[in-house]
Amino acid sequence: MDSRSRVRCLAALLLGAAWLVGDGPACSTARADVVELKSGGVIEGVRLEAFEDDSVVVVQTLKSKTPLKLPRDLVKRIVPRPHVLEDYPVLLEKAGEDAMRHFELGLWCEARGAMGLAEVHWNRAIEIDPNLVDAHKKLGHVEIQGQWMNRDEALAAEGYVKHKGRWISPEEKERLETINRDATRLHAWTQQVQALNRELMSGDPARSRSAERAILTIKDPLAVDALKNVLSRGNAEQRRIYYEALGNQDGPTATKALLDAVYAEAEEHLWNLVFERLAARSRDDPGLVKALRAGLRSKDQGVRNRAARGLGRLRAESAVPDLIDALISVERRTIMTQEPVPAGSAGGVAGLPGGFAVVSPVVAAGPNGGQRPSVADQVGRVTTFGQVGYAVGPGMVVPFPMPATFGLGVQAAPPRTQPALRVVQLNTSHPEVLNALKTITGRDFGFNQAAWKQWLQLEYKPTPLTGRVVPEP
């Protein structure tokens, strides 16, 4: 069967249209119906009676790419009803062998949501006329060097490869496959190290020694993460073996793990072990001093101190300027304070200290029975809050040094404050950094950064390090 015949037979299967292959029933054998199932379901579509028999009902729906075959014993009844595809058989007959009419019929199907049928007709159109550009575009084809291709063919022609349903570059495929292989190996190493760790912690000295020997012989860089995950958070003995194993590993992965341990290990003898293993790699890993210098800029004081300690042990003269800069850290913080309200601000008495408020004077009967106030009346009565008050006479302000119990129109109040934001500077000295400077330079200017910088500019002559640095015991 040639390509054209295969497409026509496929169309007949998808569409239920026997007239495409030349020996089928007439167009009138397709009807729009609603098939009600005994289960309560409903199926709407074009019924294809030409493909039915006593056992099945055949219906082409909008969404399905192939007709649905329903056992008759599951069908409750079939109700004729209008359907968006009911005119399809007539349009199909008119399309005949005309490429443009098949293209337009595809558009008609697309407008009614029958994308499967639409694609069948667009494919039929380009089978009749391979140069029908609009049909190729509807099918998502692209033209490469005069040849129309579907998406997969075009991507393959461009050099892409298919990987787990996605088209990617060969390099990306290799990268993903490497990641997958590494993950598989890491999982295997994790299981192996966990088994060795159980032997290590078994309590049997012979089994523990055997497990330690096995761990120390591991050389695969991919095993570093497995060793770290299993041993780095264990007890002191587990961590010791972990650091020894890292020291036996080559490459940047193990160096990075040792550098992490420099900042994480709290016990003195284990820290010394870590640093010895790390310093022994300095010839092969020249970035060690650079990494420790970067640690001086950390906001974590513990990291900063350990970096300084490591640089001192290495006698890293190139780090002296960084150590001087790290000698004192400056931090600016914004804090909330309570500030006094300025004198004469809203709510106070103009010209008087803050904390005083105007009250009404109390007027008593004078000695002559009139309304002339007495001296005490002139002073008036005031409510006090324990503040030194002021007596106010006619046309003047008189100091009143005693705790106020009288005052004409004046009341003592507590000092008023208001919230305010202030920026404060905190300077912190770092003894570990100073110790490193003294170790490397043999000088001691304390925490006087200005003196250190002057010495650095005028007197300091660093000696380049040669060969491997052996740390102090």
Q: How many CB atoms lie within 10 A of CB 309?
A: 19
| CB neighbour class for 49 (10 Å; exposed up to 12, middle 13-18, buried from 19) | middle
Q: Are residues 41 and 95 in the same domain?
A: yes
For the domain that residue 297 is a member of, what is the CATH number? 1.25.10
Quick: pLDDT tens for 131-161: 999 999 999 898 888 888 888 888 888 889 9
> Which residues are CB-contacts of 309 (< 8 A; sequence separation ≥ 6)?
432, 435, 436
Residue 423 included in any domain: no
Q: Are residues 195 and 60 in the same domain?
A: no
**Last residue in a domain, options 119, 143, 167:** 143
326 within 8 A of 308, measured Cβ to Cβ: yes
Q: Are residues 211 and 264 in the same domain?
A: yes
pLDDT at 344: 58
pLDDT at 270: 92
**Last residue in a domain, options 305, 326, 347:** 326
pLDDT at 128: 94
Tokens 């300084």 belong to 308
For the domain that residue 93 is a member of, what is the CATH number? 2.30.30.100
Residue 75 included in any domain: yes
Which 3 state secondary structure label does DSSP give 392? Answer: strand
Residue 456 included in any domain: no
Across the range 343-370, mean pLDDT stands at 42
Q: Are residues 181 and 310 in the same domain?
A: yes
Residue 378 included in any domain: no
Q: Are residues 206 and 312 in the same domain?
A: yes
pLDDT(327) > 50: yes
pLDDT at 171: 92
Q: How many domains does the chain have?
A: 2
Residue 208 included in any domain: yes
Return the higher-pLDDT residue of 39 and 408: 39
Q: Are residues 90 and 29 in the same domain?
A: yes
63 within 8 A of 14, measured Cβ to Cβ: no
* Plot region of 6 (φ>0 → left; ψ -120 to 50 → alpha; else → beta): alpha
| CB neighbour class for 102 (10 Å; exposed up to 12, middle 13-18, buried from 19) | buried
Which 3 state secondary structure label does DSSP give 201? Answer: coil
Return the higher-pLDDT residue of 67 and 315: 315
| CB neighbour class for 46 (10 Å; exposed up to 12, middle 13-18, buried from 19) | buried
Residue 352 included in any domain: no
pLDDT band at 379; cut points 50, 70, 90: very low
69 within 8 A of 58, measured Cβ to Cβ: yes
Quick: pLDDT tens for 193-249: 999 999 999 999 999 999 999 999 999 988 999 999 999 889 999 999 999 999 988
Distance CA 131, CA 184 (A): 50
**Last residue in a domain, options 326, 352, 373:** 326
pLDDT band at 165; cut points 50, 70, 90: confident
Q: Are residues 124 and 210 in the same domain?
A: no
Q: Are residues 139 and 182 in the same domain?
A: no
Quick: pLDDT tens for 259-286: 888 888 888 899 989 988 888 876 545 6
Q: Are residues 138 and 256 in the same domain?
A: no
Return the higher-pLDDT residue of 321 and 409: 321
Return the higher-pLDDT residue of 62 and 55: 55
Mean pLDDT of all residues belonging to the chain: 76
Lowest mean pLDDT among 59-73, 112-126, 138-152, 437-451: 59-73
Q: What is the DSSP string of 236-303?
A: HHHHHHHHHHHHH--SHHHHHHHHHHHHH--SHHHHHHHHHHHHTTTTT-THHHHHHHHHTT-S-HHH
Quick: pLDDT tens for 407-442: 444 455 567 888 888 888 888 899 999 999 999 999
* Domain encompassing residue 79: 3-143
Residue 164 included in any domain: no
Tokens 């040094």 belong to 401
Q: Are residues 50 and 109 in the same domain?
A: yes
Q: Are residues 187 and 104 in the same domain?
A: no
pLDDT(358) > 70: no
Tokens 């925490």 belong to 447
Give φ, ψ of 146 to 5 degrees. 80, 5
pLDDT band at 7; cut points 50, 70, 90: very low
